[in-house]
A and B are shown apart, each in its own frame.
Chain A
Amino acid sequence: MPEAAESLIVLNGIDRTFTLGDSKVHALRNVNLNIAPGEYIAVMGPSGSGKSTLLNLIGLLDRADAGTYQLEGRDVTTLDPDEQAKVRSERIGFIFQSFHLVPRLTAAANIELPLTLSGMPAAERAKRVSQALKEYGLTDRAQHRSNELSGGQRQRVAIARATILRPAVLLADEPTGNLDRVTGEEVVRLLEALNTQGMTLIVVTHDQALGARARRQIRMDDGSIVSDVTSKPSQPT
């Protein structure tokens, strides 16, 4: 194993089993993974191979049945739910294929949600939200609800929301899956820009071309990592 101190994420012998009626589905089998800060990783593989399950685990949305998970040198598998919530709030940003905006809230209110939940004062929130709206080109859409936004705009709102507290890791599960090619490109460029600023980026994707843009490509099959390639020569660090 590489030196754990320098790693952002260390997964060790992770198992995740789902029980469906009588049968057991091994979504993850003995997964070991080491991720350094600032990496750009694409997770690929056939449908049902465990990509989402892996990402959910890293995002603390789900928990492992066996194995350990260290985030920034801390074992987070043993944290109690409230401590895990705090880690999600401060260190992790999650982006979903289906955006998951709160439909009754405006774009601005959706972006503001993590700040509100963290108990930040209103004045500070307003400043940060208007800054984020500007960065993501959503200023003129600020007061629109999600049904008045295009898919690309919705995903931009979701990205703004996921990153407004400047997390260490940004996790995106098929972020372009519901978008057309051009809009998808746009979203990917936004994510890559965030990675350039130092945010660790892990993207699950079906799209070979998209996956190829990442420096490190992880391939999964039937709950296991079958290949893990870092294309060092072509990309300067």
Chain B
Amino acid sequence: MKITDTLRYASDAATGTPLRTGLLMLAMSIGVAAVVILTALGDGARRYVVGQFSAIGSNLVIVLPGRSETRGFNPANLVTSTPRDLTVDDASALLRVSGVLRISPVLIGTTEISAAGKLREAMMVGTNDDFIRVRQLKLGLGHFLSKGDLRHGAAEVVLGALIRQEIFGTENPLGKTVRIGDRRLRVVGVLTEGGSGMGMTTDELLIVPVATAQAMLNTNTLFRILVEARSREQIGEVKTRVLKMITQRHEGEEDVTVITQDAVLQTFDKILNVLTLGVAGIAAISLAVAGILVMNVMLVSVTQRTGEIGLLKALGATSAAVRQLFMVEAVLLSLTGGMLGTGLGYLGAAILRHLYPTFPAYPPLWAVLAGLGTALASGLIFGVMPARRAAQLDPIQALTKR
């Protein structure tokens, strides 16, 4: 039998039985689409959280005051139990550690901002000019804090987008003076809307020089120091050196905690991989269910056609020719169903992304391939297997079988 004739016979068989073909397409496409959409959801959740964490900065090492409880018992800590504060000088010293690209001291406090007769409470961040790069923020207007001595703060402020809108509306705030706490500061820049990181929006922040903030809050301490390593590979070394430097400066006492975002990210990656696997598990179950559905439709329909197989053999078809006919038919049906399912799945994922633009619901390739592969395999196996068996019967057995 010629391959074109085989193809035509097989496609006639598929289109000649619309109900069976329809059921099969339905089973196939639901199975594959479920896998694609569910894994898109799972992987989307993973990407979303990873993205949120990456927004803090890339090669970040964070210094927190206070010793982490996991470091074991040290008799020296019994003597001086109160940890030393993190200071601006500590921050400046870290700039000399090798492998450090830039640093940002951070001090946080709540305060009030008033201008043009409006007053509101806001979170104030005291930091330096590098903060915008370390935290990877974007400016909408003006410039960021000017470069300068950490101990002498200029009277300037950068506003979050929402604060700017509430105080100034559509008016240009650059160069205007606002009152923050008991000080008058000049607005030099405005952040773009929607900046975030560490689960906190930057829209409602006031960013001022660290010395200015310290003076306003009447403190010498820092909330933390952000250290950016030159490369991802150097994060580990930088972490060790930073800890050593601070310990040295604090008279040999290890009274700070140094964490890397890398460790946090890795932990989250692990958790989220488990999540994705879980979702893939659900998808696999739905695929198994669909596979069983495909199996039944195929088994029933091929068994119903045992008579046809007998007839083909009576007309002189070899067992191999019969097997080939049913194989091609199963391939056609499975491929079409699989494609349809993949299309539906991608469409579903696209709709999800359209509805929730911040949620990156892209199906991972491995899941799409696994889904397609399972659907194709079940369609093929259960389409070809009963046909093979029927083709091995004597023609009269196949013909009279009911």
Contact of B399 among A88, A100, A121 (CB under 8 A): A100
Contact of B17 among A62, A94, A104, A113 (CB under 8 A): A104
A161 contacts which chain B residues (CB < 8 A)? Answer: 315
The proximity string for B residues 1-17 relative to A, scoring 1 for CB distances below 8 Å and 0 otherwise, is 11001000100110011
Contact of A89 among B12, B315, B396 (CB under 8 A): B315
Binding site for B on A (CB under 8 A): 56, 59-63, 81-82, 85-86, 88-90, 94, 96, 100, 102, 104-105, 109, 113-114, 116-119, 121-122, 161, 165
Bound: A183/B307 CA distance, A: 26
The residues in B between 1 and 35 inclusive whose CB is less than 8 angstroms from any CB of A are 1-2, 5, 9, 12-13, 16-17
Contact of A104 among B13, B314, B320, B397 (CB under 8 A): B13
Bound: A63/B393 CA distance, A: 11
B9 contacts which chain A residues (CB < 8 A)? Answer: 116
Bound: A85/B394 CA distance, A: 11
A122 contacts which chain B residues (CB < 8 A)? Answer: 5
Binding site for A on B (CB under 8 A): 1-2, 5, 9, 12-13, 16-17, 307-308, 311-321, 394-397, 399
Candidate in B307, B311, B314, B394 with the most chain A CB atoms within 10 angstroms: B314
Task: Check A81 against B1 for contact (C-beta < 8 Å).
Answer: no
Task: Check B317 against A117 for contact (C-beta < 8 Å).
Answer: yes
Q: How far is the CB of A160 from chain B (nearest CB, A)?
A: 12
The answer to whether A100 and B396 touch (CB under 8 A), given A105-B12, A117-B321, is no
Task: Check A61 against B396 for contact (C-beta < 8 Å).
Answer: yes
Task: Check B12 against A81 for contact (C-beta < 8 Å).
Answer: no
Contact of B2 among A82, A89, A104, A119 (CB under 8 A): A119
The answer to whether A114 and B315 touch (CB under 8 A), given A104-B12, A119-B2, is yes
Extra 7 A-B pairs, beta carbons < 8 Å, given A62-B395, A88-B315, A117-B316: A62-B396, A85-B318, A85-B319, A86-B318, A114-B316, A117-B317, A122-B5
B320 contacts which chain A residues (CB < 8 A)? Answer: 82
Q: How far is the CB of A132 from chain B (nearest CB, A)?
A: 14
Task: Check A61 against B399 for contact (C-beta < 8 Å).
Answer: yes
Task: Check A88 against B316 for contact (C-beta < 8 Å).
Answer: yes
A85 contacts which chain B residues (CB < 8 A)? Answer: 313, 316-319
A102 contacts which chain B residues (CB < 8 A)? Answer: 308, 311
B307 contacts which chain A residues (CB < 8 A)? Answer: 100
B394 contacts which chain A residues (CB < 8 A)? Answer: 61-63
B16 contacts which chain A residues (CB < 8 A)? Answer: 104-105
